[in-house]
Amino acid sequence: MVGSIKTFYDETCIAKLGFKTNTGKKHGPFGHGGGMEFTVPVLDGRIVGFFGQFNSYLNGIGVYLAPK
């Protein structure tokens, strides 16, 4: 999972979000981007779910991992 965060109307939000599967297929990026880039590497395991936090915008996102 890759993306960026930035402040928009005094609120820190996810500005861009993208995903790459274990087979190399890419989904996204979604959003306009800008701000500070981030990466969530999954080195040993697999993503089985997502969770997030929002107000007016998506403020945070996380992943649930399971063993391979």
The mean pLDDT of the chain is 92
**More confident: 22 or 10:** 10
The pTM (predicted TM-score) of the whole model is 0.79
Three-state DSSP at 43 gives coil
Query: Structure tokens of 50?
Result: 């997502």
Residue 21 — very low, low, confident or very high, per pLDDT cuts 50/70/90? Answer: confident
Q: What's the pLDDT tens digit per position in 35-51?
A: 999 998 888 888 999 99
Question: CA nearest 31: which of 8, 48, 53, 9?
Answer: 8
